[in-house]
Homo-oligomer: A and B are copies of this chain.
Amino acid sequence: MSTKWVYFFGNGRTEGQEGNKNLAGGKGANLAEMVALGIPVPPGFTITTEACTAFYANNEQWAEGLDEQVMENLAKLEEAMGAKFGDPENPLLVSVRSGARVSMPGMMDTVLNLGLNDVTVEGLAKKTGNPRFAWDSYRRFIHMYGDVVMGVDHALFEAAIAKKRETEGVAQDNELSVEALKELVKEYKAIVKESAGVLFPDDPIEQLRGAINAVFRSWNGARAIRYRQINGIPHDWGTAVNVQCMVFGNMGETSGTGVAFTRDPSTGENVFYGEFLMNAQGEDVVAGIRTPQPISQLEQTMPEAYAELVRIYKLLEDHFKDMQDIEFTIQEGKLFLLQTRTGKRTATAAVRIAVEMVKEGLIDKKTAVMRVEPEQLDQLLHPMIDPKAKYTVLAKGLPASPGAAAGRIVFTAEEAEQWKERGEQVILVRNETSPEDIGGMHVAEGILTARGGMTSHAAVVARGMGKCCVAGCAAAMIDEEKKTLTFGKKELTEGEWITLNGSTGEVIEGQVPMVEAQVSGDLGTLLSWADEFRALGIRTNADTPHDAETALEFGAEGIGLCRTEHMFFEGDRISAVRQMIVAEDQEGRAAALAKLLPYQKGDFIGIFRAMQGKPVTVRLLDPPLHEFVPQDAETIRKLAGEMGISVESLKARIESLEELNPMLGHRGVRLGVTYPEIPAMQARAIFEAAAELTKEGVEVFPEVMIPLVGTVQELNMMRDICVEIAESVMKEYGVEFKYLIGTMIEIPRACVVADEIAKTAEFFSFGTNDLTQMTFGFSRDDAGTFLPHYIEKGILEKDPFQSLDQVGVGSLVKMGVEKGRAVRPTLKVGVCGEHGGDPASIDFFHRVGLNYVSCSPYRVPIARLAAAQANIRNPR
């Protein structure tokens, strides 16, 4: 017996292909599934994916038996519809669509109305009583078929119809007369003959064979191959072909068409939601010439069809157990479902639907947790531009920190603070930000930078603050002296209103209205379910008690990264920091450090108190010292005065701190090796804070993290300093508290020698930002010049600073975890880079066995959900 290549569906009958996506493709399996459920679907047949692979195996020839089976099924179709291919009175018209196992952009679009020719077009005109529609369909069919099946340049048809509009003196295609359309059909056929070198096929059978071949071939089109490469889809899957009868919603007042959702896709409310048009085709809805009516009105217009539709949508939701997006056509009173698929929805709706479906007993909690895209939650946690607002986009930058904000333009951090003090809302606009701008960033509603990428200073700090930021907006020309911000010819000056959309990267003219984020109770419910399923701990990156409290509210279980450098900029202390840095000897440094100690201690008291005994990972000073020194003449003069040294020698000292590649320079633990008094001061501040709170009865759990370690010897030096101070502080205060000493793993070498390092380190925290920089050799500050090309040309699938490069950087992370745990099985391992808040990366971190991820406070809910999904996919 020869292979079965073709499966019929229709009139309640299928041949077992329902649900078999590997064989029938996604679309074919779904259509059959509806038929099997007894839902009226225009009948048709599916040519299997196996027929496609056989086509390629067979030197692009149809497999034996395929043609016969197509003809048999065509006959069944004619019988089912009481219509015939090529019949002048009642012609059978079909659509032909590709349909792979998974939806795949880049493959052949639909060919509609196949079966039309000079004879059958008249039949269609008669049947629909609408000659204009018939000839327009025929014109479209030649265009579509000529383009996708016969390879005729799209533009040739466009040019012909444009010319026709001109000679006819009309503006829109739908104003063309029947006569004009008839002429156009002739012209289109001439174009096909001229361009393809053959006549347009009149024979419907020939049309059908050509269309099936075109679908087969579209599997190996350049775009489809590219898509498969990027998405890891095997090239040998092949595509199915769906041939289905056309039905018409424009056959009079008892015909119509519509689209609907089984629940409200905006709010998630459990109501039937959609719209329809009587005596119309789907295209009419899209063209917007007539206004569709709400679906509820169909009840009045066609009560029976409506009742049937309600029965069907409930059946579909019940069957697929998810909100469905359906398309239907009513042809002369008879309802046909054309498509059902999982409906797209807003974040709010996704959460509500998932939670309510659990309450309705439709799905279980695990399914609900899997239903919501973690990344979507971001929308719920920030203010948004009012969806109803109209606005003008000036330029687009990188969506560096989500949410939206409006404010008046200022160009320096100082001005931001001054304007804010007198009650103004401001947007800070800079070429790029530096740690000196922290104060201004803090008071601004949002930040716009012309340079820098998704992990530039501005982006990282803004995300940490939960503040809207558009970064790397190359079109923005900033003149700080003239205080102007120019986009092309549009010049804005200081004080003018501007609005940023940090979720899309849009920079918008003027002040656009906002809607506040709504965190409904459903989100809390869903996240509490997520917590039941996840294995990863979720911590936050927080440098202040305020951030810590925000993160706690979002569900953080500890601080995974408390940077101490931001603390150095606050208030008066920057002056002491600078004295420490430019000191000429250890004594001078020690004196300045002594001034800093009480400040740092105060910082830690605030944070430890906020965290109520949850672990707090404090990273010792990391950035190169030149980030702290002043660059402007005025501040240098002042500092020289304070220090009692000459301006020249201060300038020389500041210059000596400059580095060619600061990222790979004198920073992190290297500062501690050369100036051990700095980590000593920080350790004292940490442990004195811990001791004081312990004395008060507040529980504390500091974890001291040494950054940028590449050799165990560095870590040993720092560990010795910290342990000695911890022991002596405990004695001084007469208390005991637990603490850990660990390290950041962010240097490639640290991954390679993680077994050595784990002999000393009590925990690892992967600093995947720097690890990505060094593993790729990409400076995130400079990568803006080439990284976009890399994404665009498909060299990299994603920005590795946003989503972990699992193959490269991830291999080093895995190596680090394995080597570390081999030596110290109880090693606590986390991640505190930006990737800690990225769902795909969280999935990876779960799989390689990390204990926790740490992310900015506003991403904590996302991380909780992503961690739960990771553990549901790959249970530990």
Contact = CB atoms under 8 A, between A and B. Distances in A.
A794 interface: yes
B710 A785 contact: no
Nearest to A229: B713
Interface in A702-732: 708, 710-711, 713-714, 717
B795 A775 contact: no
Contact of A710 (B714, B752, B777, B781): B777
B773 A748 contact: no
Given A674-B789, A749-B808, A661 B782 contact: yes
Contacts of A710: 776-777, 808
Given A666-B786, A673-B789, A782-B661, A775 B794 contact: no
Contacts of A756: 807
Given A666-B785, A781-B661, A717 B673 contact: no
Given A786-B666, A786-B673, A660 B779 contact: yes
Contacts of A708: 777
A673 B749 contact: no
A519 interface: no
A811 interface: yes
A151 interface: no
Interface string A662-687: 11111000100110000000000000
A23 interface: no
A662 B661 contact: yes
A391 interface: no
Given A673-B786, A673-B795, A749-B809, A662 B660 contact: yes
Interface of A: 659-666, 670, 673-674, 708, 710-711, 713-714, 717, 746-749, 752-753, 756, 770, 773-779, 781-783, 785-786, 789-790, 793-796, 805, 807-809, 811-812
A807 B757 CA distance: 13
Nearest to A668: B777
Nearest to A808: B749
A659 to B, nearest CB: 4
13 contacts: A660-B781, A661-B782, A663-B663, A664-B778, A665-B779, A670-B786, A673-B786, A673-B790, A674-B786, A711-B796, A748-B812, A753-B807, A774-B777
A188 B370 CA distance: 86
A808 B659 CA distance: 25
B812 A665 contact: no
A805 B710 CA distance: 12
B717 A795 contact: yes
A536 to B, nearest CB: 24
Given A749-B805, A749-B809, A774-B748, A795 B665 contact: no
A661 B782 CA distance: 7
A752 B663 contact: no
Nearest to A625: B785
Give the 7 A-B residue pairs with the shortest CB-CB distance, closest first: A664-B779, A661-B779, A665-B782, A749-B808, A713-B795, A748-B748, A659-B782
A664 B665 contact: no
Contacts of A749: 775-777, 805, 808-809
A773 B773 CA distance: 12
B752 A785 contact: no
A872 B683 CA distance: 52
Contacts of A775: 747-749, 752, 774
A779 B778 CA distance: 13
Contact of A782 (B666, B752, B782): B666
B659 A752 contact: no
A300 B663 CA distance: 72
B664 A777 contact: yes
A783 B794 CA distance: 35
A660 B795 contact: no
A789 B673 CA distance: 8
A812 B666 contact: no
A111 to B, nearest CB: 35
A258 B699 CA distance: 75
Given A659-B782, A665-B783, 15 more contacts: A659-B785, A660-B779, A661-B661, A664-B774, A665-B785, A666-B785, A673-B786, A674-B786, A717-B793, A746-B777, A748-B774, A748-B775, A749-B776, A749-B805, A774-B774
| Residue in A664, A711, A747, A805 with the greatest tally of chain B CB atoms within 10 Å | A664
Contacts of A781: 659-661
A664 B782 contact: yes
A713 B673 CA distance: 40
A756 B809 CA distance: 15
Contact of A770 (B713, B770, B777, B785): B777
Contacts of A753: 807-808, 811
A625 to B, nearest CB: 10
A664 B808 CA distance: 17
A714 B713 CA distance: 37
| Residue in A661, A776, A790 with the greatest tally of chain B CB atoms within 10 Å | A661
A756 B747 CA distance: 23
Given A789-B674, A795-B717, A747 B777 contact: yes
Contacts of A711: 795-796, 808
Contacts of A659: 779, 781-782, 785
Contacts of A717: 793, 795
A659 B664 CA distance: 14
Nearest to A477: B652
Contacts of A748: 748, 774-775, 777, 812
Given A747-B775, A779-B665, A752 B808 contact: yes
A120 to B, nearest CB: 49
A779 B747 CA distance: 13
Nearest to A658: B782
Contact of A660 (B776, B782, B790): B782
A673 B663 CA distance: 24
A205 to B, nearest CB: 43
A620 to B, nearest CB: 15
B661 A664 contact: yes
Nearest to A664: B779
A666 B793 CA distance: 16
A747 B778 CA distance: 10
Contacts of A714: 795
